[in-house]
Structure 1
Amino acid sequence: MRIENGSMVTLKYSVSSEDGELIDPGEEPMVYLHGDLEGLFPKLQSVLAGKALNETVTATLSAEDAFGPYDRSLVRVEHAGRFGFDVEVGTQLEGADDQGQSMVFVVREIDGDRVTLDANHPLAGLALVFTCTVTAIRPAS
């Protein structure tokens, strides 16, 4: 059987940066429905289409094909007193963008009373290298 739309696929995978830094060792297998563009990056699905059991592929996804470009408009600097509690680098805070859309901001930097918040995905702006081995394929039920 080969991977096609409607296949349930299990992958052993790892994700690295273009310079070889391991980002995700893929300790748990990834399971996705092929053709469902919500479950796995469309570009990676296109590379996996037609592959068979035990085949291994390596695919480099541009930032645009992965988590998108880094968006400076998603970075804000706020006064520390605005929060009403102490924040630390790495703290996640829920907030909203200018249109009222709910977002998660991460505290990236604290400089005196200035707190830098960032709502970009941590991997935004990075090209990612996926190494995937197909470990199971079955029709979706």
Structure 2
Amino acid sequence: MQQVQNGDKVRVHYHGKLRSGETFDSSEGREPLEFTVGGGQVIPGFDQGVMGMSVGDKRTVEIDVQNAYGEKSSEMIIEFPKNQFPEDMNPEVGMQLMMNNGQGQQFPVTIAEVKEESVMLDANHPLAGQELVFDIELVEIVPASRIIMP
């Protein structure tokens, strides 16, 4: 039976949980996740977790912080002046916003603290600093397309 190798395109169902057991994402009720193993499309620990699986296999994979979204970085905390928020917006801790970096790229931030004149925005990935647990089921190893040249 074929086993997943680096470079294979695969389709998986998954259930992602924190160490506490709290679910943060799942493919339940959706199409399976399709990605190329080793292609940088998923976190490194997820790539490693599917290696060697065969279609129909189920596996629980524990992923440490370094192979997930990394540690939280203090460099990703941004102090932003309150007077630059829209007038009708009342910033509150926990609010999620999209921010523009000035070069047209948008990225999500979460309000971490509201001060008198400024707001502290956290641009770390929401799962940074967390160890993750995934229940994975390999649904398919997608065959590579064969192109015949004359």
Normalised by the length of structure 2, the TM-score is 0.78
Look up the SS of the partner of 2:130 in the other structure: coil
The answer to whether the Cα contact below 8 Å between 1:61 and 1:128 also exists between their aligned partners in 2 is: yes
Q: Aligned runs of 1:1-141 on 2, under 5 Å?
A: 1-27=2-28, 28=30, 29-36=32-39, 38-85=40-87, 86-89=89-92, 90-96=95-101, 104=107, 105-141=109-145
Look up the SS of the partner of 1:64 in the other structure: helix
User: Deviation above 4 Å: which 4+ runs of structure 1?
Assistant: 100-103
1: distance between equivalents of 2:140 and 2:78?
44
The range that moved more, 110-119 or 130-139, is: 110-119
The answer to whether the Cα contact below 8 Å between 1:103 and 1:119 also exists between their aligned partners in 2 is: no
1:88 to partner: Cα distance: 3.2
Aligned length: 138
1:95 to partner: Cα distance: 4.0
The answer to whether the Cα contact below 8 Å between 1:11 and 1:132 also exists between their aligned partners in 2 is: yes
Over the residues paired in the alignment, what is the CA RMSD in angstroms? 2.4
The answer to whether the Cα contact below 8 Å between 1:32 and 1:39 also exists between their aligned partners in 2 is: yes
Look up the SS of the partner of 1:43 in the other structure: helix
1: distance between equivalents of 2:82 and 2:68?
33
The answer to whether the Cα contact below 8 Å between 2:11 and 2:142 also exists between their aligned partners in 1 is: no
Instruction: Among all aligned residue pairs of Structure 1 and Structure 2, give the percentage whose two residues are the same amino acid.
Output: 25
2: distance between equivalents of 1:101 and 1:119?
16
2: distance between equivalents of 1:73 and 1:35?
28
Structure 1: stretches of 5+ with no match in the other structure:
none
